[in-house]
């Protein structure tokens, strides 16, 4: 494990601070604010490595070095939760009116995990999770499922966030910050203290001589209730805890300590307390450490997973720091002082905006029998699909593809929202409308009356409109009147949360933000987390923004018109129809010299590729054009593939989640059994041999999505 928090750097410093019941909440020193008395924060006071990188990246690299110190084997995957990415550096650049895109190359959330993967030599998937304050715990649960299902042997997982103006002023605008510092579970609590930090855990299925702890199981849920407020009865929190215990194969009475989410906000603490009281007949010792550390957002769940591991391995029960008078409405009383006591199992909770809930069960090695393992063998079937491009919704997009090939561009907000009730979207800006329109259209196309259980979404850049508007207003008003509505909408998972609320989807709600490979990450994550009897929505969407897109996305040229949109699927494993199937069969770092051979092997080899696929849709981002062309040429040369090979970004335009639209196109070609004439011949119905379409992602990573007829 590696950890850097306001309490210190490393396990020893963290343990010592917790044993001494120290609170590290104090004055903000990282940047200046135009306020006489800025609320206290949880700030990392120690020097960090790699001064030429943004602060979030530097925090992450410091923890990765600790976690990997004794490991001499390569990582199979990196899964990281974050909400800030390089935003602190971006804020400074914007205030200096710096318009050089090269200076913003570390803005994206995905750049943090990719920096870790590059330094640690990870060849496999690199997944960035952004589910607000549950991100770190959600990343650990995704890693756990990847390990349990044999998809990896060694995964580095956790969460990281740095302090920045966006989050400090954003939470303050919502009146969720305690001006005296966070007092979780206290009768007089008034809010949270924004903080920063990082924790990364090296998880492996290889039994070592001295494992620290076992992660027995995790549970994910969504309130599907409100974009920012929790369900008042804690229904989603209760569901996540129940799922975690069921996955671990243990009972509530087996839990010796609960690490509460406990932010110090009145509503959140009360909702969590109600959920705990509903689950436990006799509540075990419990506490929140956020009075000591502050709330480090995406890092909180991972930091508290490390604290849970310390509780188990060091017999340490942390105190509920800064709680002077426990709220009597909770019934239970949190720990007032640290305790030294044997601990066999800990339940650790993390909850975030959008009602995204995560719970983990962490226990002594070999103390409990392994929980039930569910292996999903059935592929996802596409029972509903939708897309949005510059040509319009799916019907208009496909007609334009057959007519002229080009569909790049942007729609107006009104055109995006034609299938949505005006009242339901009046406060929503571009990305949320795109996602909600896709979700609605995919569900309608399925013909199902039932709602999806879960929503998974990939977005390369998140809600650019809200982020820009929040930061612009912050500057224009001298930091006095930031917009709470824009702050809530600026979180990457806000759009998926809107879809969950619409459909009352209470299962996992996961947003991935992996740049040009975001949709593939969402689909891969959905495969790991979805049971055979569940129907789900998987979306990929990005918005074009007149100021930010050119700065952040290196594939977007100022000389070219903006393009945006996305694709959406309603998927089910247990559908008995003749619908096409979809899956991610390959995801690796292109830095591996053997990556193309590995791709061929994962797709079944040359004979299988030529027998199963009649079309290849290749996604080559403009920023990786030369590298992508070399990769594609190598693939065609090695396979001898003679069918159409289409660079779909030349049709759709440059936006990160274009691969979601390409997957929808592939499904439509299979269902209609025809291809556009522009793909290499006269438009033909009843094409012989079009059994499947292979959608390749090329460039910095190499991915493969297989869309096949059954």
Give yes or no for a contact between 388 and 395, defined as CB atoms under 8 angstroms apart.
Answer: no
Our CA angle for 453, 585, 511, nearest 5°, is 40
Residues 6+ away with beta carbon under 8 Å from 72 = none
Residue partners of 204: CB distance under 8 A and separation at least 6: 147, 153, 154, 155
Q: Which of 295, 443, 492, 545 is catalytic?
A: 295
Whole-angstrom distance, CA of residue 221 vs CA of residue 240: 5
d(CA 134, CA 659): 27
Q: Is 295 a catalytic residue?
A: yes
* CA–CA separation, 699 and 569 (whole Å): 25
Degrees, nearest 5: CA angle 170-176-177: 85
133 carries an active-site annotation: yes
Give the residue among 48, 67, 66 at the shortest CA–CA distance from 58. Answer: 48
Q: What residue has token string 């990929």? A: 540
Which tokens sit at 709? 């007829």
Question: Would you give the DSSP letter of residue 673?
Answer: T
Strand intervals (E) in 520-677: 535-542, 565-572, 581-589, 615-619, 645-647, 674-675
User: Nearest 5 degrees, angle CA 23-CA 25-CA 28?
Assistant: 160
Catalytic residue among 261, 393, 443, 545: 261
172 included as an active-site residue: no
Q: 277-290 in b/e burial notation, b at 16+ Cβ within 10 A?
A: eebbeebbbbbbbb
What would the DSSP string read from start to end of 49-118? S-TTS-HHHHHHHHHHHHHTTT--S--SEEEEE-S-TTHHHHHHHHHTT---GGGGTT-STHHHHHHHHH
Q: Which of 101, 102, 129 is nearest to 113 (CA)?
A: 129
- Planar angle of CA 133, 427, 261, nearest 5 degrees: 15
Q: Which of 57, 122, 133, 443 is catalytic?
A: 133
Give 461's contacts (C-beta < 8 A, 6+ positions apart): 108, 513, 542, 543, 548, 549, 552, 553, 656
**Which residues, 6+ apart, have CB-to-CB distance to 28 below 8 Å?**
38, 39, 40, 41, 43, 163, 168
- For CA atoms 247, 252, 256, 258, the dihedral sign is positive
Measured in Å, how far apart are the chain's first and last C-alpha atoms?
44
Catalytic residue annotation = 133, 261, 295
């Amino acid at each position: 494990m590696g950890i850097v928090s306001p309490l210190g750097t490393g396990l020893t410093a963290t343990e010592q601070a917790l044993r001494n019941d120290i609170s590290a909440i104090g004055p903000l020193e990282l940047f200046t604010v135009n306020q006489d008395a800025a609320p206290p924060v949880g700030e990392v006071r120690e020097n960090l490595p790699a001064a030429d990188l943004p602060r979030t990246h530097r925090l992450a690299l410091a923890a990765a070095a600790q976690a990997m110190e004794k490991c001499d084997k390569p990582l199979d995957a990196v899964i990281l939760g974050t909400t800030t990415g390089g935003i602190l550096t971006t804020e400074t650049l914007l205030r200096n009116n710096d318009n050089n895109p090269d200076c913003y190359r570390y803005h994206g959330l995905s750049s943090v995990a990719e920096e870790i993967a590059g330094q640690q030599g990870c060849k496999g998937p690199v997944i960035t999770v952004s589910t607000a304050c549950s991100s770190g715990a959600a990343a650990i649960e995704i890693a756990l499922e990847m390990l349990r299902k044999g998809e990896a042997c060694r995964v580095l997982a956790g969460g990281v966030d740095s302090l920045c103006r966006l989050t400090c002023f954003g939470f303050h605008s919502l009146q969720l910050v305690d001006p005296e510092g966070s007092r979780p579970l206290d009768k007089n609590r008034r809010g949270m203290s924004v903080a920063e930090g990082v924790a990364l855990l090296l998880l492996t299925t290889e039994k070592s001589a001295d494992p620290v702890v076992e992660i027995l199981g995790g549970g994910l849920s969504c309130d599907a209730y409100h974009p920012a407020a929790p369900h008042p009865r804690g229904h989603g929190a209760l569901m996540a805890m129940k799922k975690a215990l069921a996955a671990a194969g243990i009972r509530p009475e087996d839990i010796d300590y609960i690490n509460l989410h406990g932010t110090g906000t009145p509503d959140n603490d009360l909702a969590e307390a109600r959920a705990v009281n509903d689950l436990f007949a006799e509540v075990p010792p419990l506490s929140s450490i956020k009075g000591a550390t502050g709330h480090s957002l995406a890092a909180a769940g991972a930091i508290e997973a490390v604290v849970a591991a310390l509780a188990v391995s060091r017999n340490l029960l942390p105190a509920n720091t800064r709680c002077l008078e426990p709220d009597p409405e909770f019934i239970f009383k949190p720990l007032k002082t640290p305790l030294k006591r044997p601990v066999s199992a800990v339940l650790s909770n993390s909850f975030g905006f959008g009602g995204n809930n995560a719970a983990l069960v962490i226990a002594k090695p070999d103390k409990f029998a392994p929980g039930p393992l569910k292996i999903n063998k059935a592929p996802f079937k596409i029972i509903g699909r939708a897309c949005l491009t510059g040509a319009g919704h799916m019907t208009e997009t496909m007609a334009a593809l057959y007519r002229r090939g080009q569909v790049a561009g942007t729609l107006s907000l009104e055109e995006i929202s034609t299938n949505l009730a005006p009242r339901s979207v009046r406060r929503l800006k571009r990305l949320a409308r795109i996602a909600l329109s896709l979700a609605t259209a995919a569900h309608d196309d399925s013909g199902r009356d039932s709602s999806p259980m879960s929503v998974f979404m990939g977005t390369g850049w998140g809600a650019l409109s809200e982020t820009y508007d929040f930061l612009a207003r912050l500057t224009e008003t001298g930091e006095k009147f930031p917009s709470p509505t824009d702050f809530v909408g600026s979180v990457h998972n806000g759009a998926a949360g809107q879809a969950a609320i619409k459909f009352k989807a209470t299962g996992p709600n996961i947003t991935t933000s992996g740049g040009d490979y975001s949709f593939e990450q969402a689909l891969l994550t959905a495969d790991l987390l979805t049971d055979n009897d569940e129907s789900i929505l998987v979306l990929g969407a990005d918005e074009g923004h007149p100021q930010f897109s050119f700065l952040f996305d290196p594939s977007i040229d100022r000389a070219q018109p903006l393009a945006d949109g996305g694709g959406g699927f309603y998927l089910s494993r247990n559908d008995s129809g003749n619908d096409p199937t979809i899956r991610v069969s390959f995801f690796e770092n292109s830095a591996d010299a053997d990556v193309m051979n590995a791709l061929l092997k994962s797709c079944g080899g040359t004979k299988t590729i030529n027998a199963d696929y009649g079309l290849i849709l290749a996604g080559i981002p403009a920023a990786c054009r030369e590298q992508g062309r070399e990769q594609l040429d190598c693939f065609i040369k090695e396979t001898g593939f003679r069918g159409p090979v289409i660079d779909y970004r030349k049709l759709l335009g440059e936006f990160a989640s274009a691969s979601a639209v390409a997957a929808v196109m592939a499904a439509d070609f299979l269902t209609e059994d025809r291809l556009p004439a522009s793909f290499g011949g006269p438009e033909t119905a009843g094409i012989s041999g079009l059994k499947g379409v292979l959608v390749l992602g090329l460039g910095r990573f190499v991915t493969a999505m297989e869309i096949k007829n059954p």
